[in-house]
């Protein structure tokens, strides 16, 4: 039995068994990415869709996703490839695209405004080896790499990929341990550690989805924006007020259809509160 060290779960895997994320497997006594190169989604997206508003605005980026996730957000918009029963079908139908082929495709779309590759849709860090290998080749061709992640990964994984990552959008889904633990099945402290490191090395924007009855209070938004505003760079200087925060509106979907969409007026109000400490606050899904 081997232990996976990608995230806080530390799944103990018998030979041939996959972990909680559905993407990592014990094979020949080694825990590895079963989803390596197995692509479920590929699209040329506006960079703002990641969302990244202050990283090459107006450009496009080749977005690639596989399957698997180490959280269990009941409102997941990509549940078909992340962790639902439907994901089992996508695991079977995923098409293999090598790192070389992905870099070739990204280069092919340069004339259409593409700046590189975004690893997104599912949680890319459960298959970080593919991110690392592909991003290195993309860099060698002078293009950019973007990571869209829930930030639930050990810093050893972070160190594997960060030499090749130019920008990240990281979910800071809330600011209570209860919400992360009971609702999302995650670890807030691990995400916070990941964000603290990320802002030292690359461009970072954060996203908070405001869910009615869960993380929608003024107090929680003040806590989130206060914490962000105190983030520091490599030299210990406070730079957090310049880290963009996207505050997004929830819509009922998947396993969370028991409440209405977040009021638009609340999103704008919470954005005003965040703006008391942060320079760049954006509203989404409004």
C-alpha to C-alpha distance for 249 and 201, rounded to whole angstroms: 29
Show me where the domains of the chain are located: 35-284
**Cα dist from 86 to 67, 68, 79, 89, 150, whole Å:** 11, 11, 8, 6, 21
Which is it for strands 245-249 and 203-210: parallel, antiparallel or unpaired? Answer: parallel
| Confidence at residue 80, expressed as pLDDT on a 0 to 100 scale | 86
Over residues 151-184, the pLDDT tens digits come to: 999 999 999 999 999 999 999 999 999 999 999 9
Identify the three-state secondary structure at position 43.
strand
The pLDDT value given to residue 55: 98
Please report the pLDDT score of residue 84 as a whole number: 60
Where the chain has pLDDT below 70, the residues are 84-88, 90
Check residue 83 and give its pLDDT: 77
Comparing CA positions, the residue from 143, 182, 139 lying closest to residue 163 is 139
The DSSP bridge partners found for residue 171 are 207
CATH number of 35-284: 3.20.20.70
**C-beta separation of 170 from 194 below 8 A:** yes
pLDDT at 59: 98
Burial class (CB in 10 A: 0-12, 13-18, 19+), 224: buried
Q: What is the pLDDT of residue 92?
A: 76
What is the predicted pLDDT for the residue at 229?
Answer: 98
Per DSSP, the chain holds a count of helices (H) and strands (E) of 9, 14
pLDDT of residue 91: 73
Q: What is the DSSP letter of 193?
A: H
The per-residue DSSP string of 246-273 comes to EEEE---BTTB-SSPPPPHHHHHHHHHH
Q: pTM value? A: 0.97
pLDDT at 155 (0 to 100):
98
């Amino acid at each position: 039995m081997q232990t996976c060290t990608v995230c806080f779960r530390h799944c103990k895997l018998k030979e041939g068994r996959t972990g909680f994320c559905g993407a990592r497997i014990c094979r020949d006594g080694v825990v590895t990415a079963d989803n390596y190169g197995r692509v479920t989604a590929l699209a040329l997206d506006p960079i703002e869709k990641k969302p990244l508003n202050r990283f090459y605005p107006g450009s496009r980026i080749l977005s690639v996703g596989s399957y698997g996730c180490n959280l269990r957000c009941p409102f997941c918009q990509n549940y078909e490839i992340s962790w639902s029963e439907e994901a089992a079908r996508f695991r079977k139908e995923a098409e293999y695209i090598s790192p070389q082929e992905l870099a070739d495709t990204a280069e092919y779309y340069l004339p259409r405004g593409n700046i590189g590759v975004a690893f997104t849709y599912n949680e890319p860090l459960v298959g970080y080896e593919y991110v690392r290998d592909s991003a290195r080749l993309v860099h060698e061709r002078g293009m950019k790499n973007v990571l869209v992640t829930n930030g639930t990964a050990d810093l050893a994984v972070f160190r594997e990929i960060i030499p090749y990552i130019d920008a990240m959008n990281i979910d800071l889904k809330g600011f209570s341990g209860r919400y992360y633990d009971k609702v999302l099945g995650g670890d807030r402290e691990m995400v916070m550690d990941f964000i603290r490191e990320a802002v030292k090395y690359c461009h970072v924007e954060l996203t908070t989805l405001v869910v009615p009855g869960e993380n929608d209070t003024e107090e929680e938004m003040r806590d989130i924006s206060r914490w962000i505003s105190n983030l520091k760079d490599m030299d210990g200087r406070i730079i957090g007020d310049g880290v963009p925060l996207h505050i997004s509106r929830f819509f009922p979907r998947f396993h969370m259809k028991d409440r209405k969409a977040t009021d638009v007026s609340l999103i704008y109000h919470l954005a005003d509160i965040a703006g008391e400490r942060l320079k760049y606050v954006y509203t989404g899904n409004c």
